[in-house]
A = this chain, B = another copy of it.
Amino acid sequence: MTRGDPGPALVVCSGGLDSVTLAHRLSAEPGGVAALVTFDYGQRHRKEVDFAARCAKRLGVAHEVVDLTDVGRRIAGSALTDRTQVPDGHYSSRTMAVTVVPNRNPLMLSAAFALAGGQGLGRVAAAMHTGDHVIYPDCRPAFVDAFQAMEDTALDGVVAIRLETPFIHWSKTDIAAEAGRLGVPVAETWSCYKGEAVHCGRCGTCVERLEALHDAGVVDPTVYADRDFWRGEVARWKAGS
């Protein structure tokens, strides 16, 4: 590291469109990326992990998959970790509340900070954006600020690590546009919460992904089981029903 060089970042990467785009973006900036870290908390859309691995390979950086399944299996009540059915529909809808995993980001980011501290890295990056804010309190700016303040006390005199969330005030469409600008291979990212053979096209994140890539004008070669459901869903949601 030279003066002014922030040093490489540890990027929390699920293999989804947002965090893969974040990894591509940071790898092209000063400091670069040291590694991607993916947390396995028993989420049913676990095949994301393969897409995070492919991203690390493309960028020529390390990939760490951290097993948090023993915590995950004890957290009942979220459709992402138990057998509750993942609902179809718009991501902003109230139906998506069943996908809240209580305290997911405090846990994952605390683990990421522990890893970064152990590896001498001064930056942890995560891809929260405005589309997450409505449903997930631990994706909001207030959480990001409070998390940094907490870590500043926890690591006082040990190490200094900065949480970077460059997309925190971006919409999903902004991220999709950035993916297009950076040439991110969007079909090499996984968003679907259902984790079946191909993207379902009907769950909240599929609808959000299809809408964002469309609105950003990005060509999307991803295969979806239902490629057109999102249009009606978005129309219904905008009409307020």
Interface residues of A (CB under 8 A from B): 64, 66-68, 70-71, 74-77, 100-107, 110-111, 113-115, 117-119, 137-138, 140, 142-143, 146-147, 149-159
Contacting pair B137 A76 (CB below 8 A): no
Give Cα A87 to B212, complex, Å: 56
Give Cα A102 to B111, complex, Å: 10
Given A74-B115, A106-B151, A138-B154, 7 more pairs with CB closer than 8 A = A64-B74, A66-B74, A67-B70, A71-B111, A103-B154, A106-B150, A106-B154
Give Cα A106 to B156, complex, Å: 13
- Chain B residues contacting A66 (CB-CB under 8 Å) are 70-71, 74
A75 closest partner in B (C-beta)? B118
Contacting pair B118 A102 (CB below 8 A): yes
Residue from B113, B140, B157 within 8 A of A137 (CB atoms):
B157
Contacting pair B143 A154 (CB below 8 A): yes
